Amino acid sequence: MRAVDDEMRVPIDGELDILTARQDARELATALGFDGVSQTLIATAISELARNILKYAGHGEILLRSAARSGARGITVVAADEGPGIADPALAMTDGFSTGHGLGLGLPGTRRLMDDFDLVSKVGSGTVVTTTMWARRP
Amino acid sequence: MPVPILAQAPYLIASVQAALTDADLIGLQNGLLDEAQRRRCQGVIVDVTALDVMDSFSTRTLQSLAAMLRLRGVETVIAGIQPDVAMAMVRLGLTMPDVRTALDLDEGLAYLQAKQQGSAGRGQ
Ligand SMILES: Nc1ncnc2c1ncn2[C@@H]1O[C@H](COP(=O)(O)OP(=O)(O)O)[C@@H](O)[C@H]1O
Ligand SMILES: [Mg+2]
């Protein structure tokens, strides 16, 4: 097993990379003290974001890092690509909207799975989704 | 990793062992359609106890698998969705309304058996 750093970068170039990103996120989340339920929510969000990268941009990367905010610990997932971008981000965030014959739940669902969510996209230059989950205090 | 399909007449049981790639899912779909035909089976259970994530892609694939089998007269039961996986699915918006689910493999088998007895009774 690899050592868990507090930042990991997973290139997304094929289907198996989705599984790697999910697994790396579980390891980092465990190291940061997240419980099993939170790990599953994070892994599911990553599955959606990484698949979007593969499907719409062809390739990109998932960056995982620890976050801190007034004593709370968090895990931040950045999904970045230099693909075609999203023409209407508000529309893409609507449940059921898909240009790829999908269920259209990946982006809006990821917002519901995680605590903080930010989508920046520019047509022709790419898409960056930055999302964070904060550890529940015991 | 391909999903093994076991015959337990008149049912088929597919036990997912690990995270599924797209190729595994397509293989599972084709394998179940073929075997259901060949063995003239009445029900299929897909045991997903080992899955740690069900995302919109795998959910949709299992839903269309169930729809295809239903058109062939075969009922599909998805068994063993883990509690935290169920939580993540509901947050995503995936509720699988048209697919029969069961707590685990035993419950899934019990459901299919009860259903078969029910329809045999009506036929007499
Ligand atoms: N990384 C991306 N690059 C370009 N377009 C994207 C990207 N991610 C999402 N989109 C667009 O946003 C839409 C909604 O995405 P999502 O909610 O994941 O649903 P789905 O993938 O099922 O279509 C997609 O159909 C696509 O048009
Ligand atoms: Mg998607």
Relative to beta strand B43-47, strand B11-15 is parallel
pLDDT confidence of residue B124: 45
Question: Which of these, A55, A105, A102, A104, lies nearest to A79 by C-alpha position?
Answer: A55
* Contact present, B81 and B48 (Cβ < 8 Å): yes
Q: Which residues of B25-50 are buried (b: 16+ CB within 10 A; e: fewer)?
A: beebbebbbebbeeeebbbbbbbbee
ipTM of the complex as predicted: 0.93
% of chain B beyond a pLDDT of 90: 79
The range of the structural domain enclosing residue A20 comes to: 12-134
A15–chain B Cβ distance below 8 A for any pair: yes
Any idea which architecture B5-121 has in CATH? 2-Layer Sandwich (3.30)
Query: How many domains does one find in chain A?
Result: 1
- Are A41 and B87 within 8 A, CB to CB? yes
Q: Determine contact: A19 vs chain B, CB below 8 A.
A: yes
Tokens 């989704």 label which residue? A129
CB contact under 8 A, B93 and A113: no
pLDDT of residue A36: 96
Q: Give the residue ranges of DSSP H helices in A8-128.
A: 15-31, 36-52, 89-92, 106-113
Residues of chain B below pLDDT 50: 123-124
Tokens 């969000």, residue located: A45
Q: Which amino acid is at B93?
A: G
Residues with CB under 5 A from ligand 2 (ion): A 52, 102, 106
What pLDDT, on a 0 to 100 scale, did the predictor assign at position A70? Answer: 86
Establish if A71 belongs to a structural domain.
yes
Residue A65 CB contacts under 8 Å (≥ 6 apart), including other chains: A6, A7, A8, A28, A75, A76, A78
Closest CA to A22 of B54, B4, B23, B84: B54
How big, in percent rounded to 5, are the helix, strand and coil portions of chain B?
50, 20, 30
Per-residue pLDDT of chain A (138 residues; tens, 9 = 90+): 455 667 899 999 999 999 999 999 999 999 999 999 999 999 999 999 999 999 999 999 999 999 998 888 999 999 999 999 999 999 999 999 999 999 999 999 999 999 999 999 999 999 999 999 999 765
pLDDT of residue A6: 76
Q: Which residues contact B57 (CB under 8 A, 6 or more apart)?
A: A47, A51, A102, B22
Q: Please indicate, yes or no, if residue A42 is contained in any of the structural domains.
A: yes
Q: Which pLDDT score is estimated for A121? A: 98
Q: Distance between CA atoms of A85 and A83, rounded to whole angstroms?
A: 6
- What is the pLDDT at residue B19? 86
Between the CA of B35 and the centroid of ligand 2 the distance, in Å, is 31
Which CATH number does the domain housing residue A123 bear?
A: 3.30.565.10
Task: List residues of chain B with CB under 8 Å from any CB of chain A.
Answer: 19, 21-23, 52-57, 59-60, 82-85, 87-89, 91-94
- Chain B touched by A136 (CB under 8 Å): no
Residue A2 lies in a domain: no
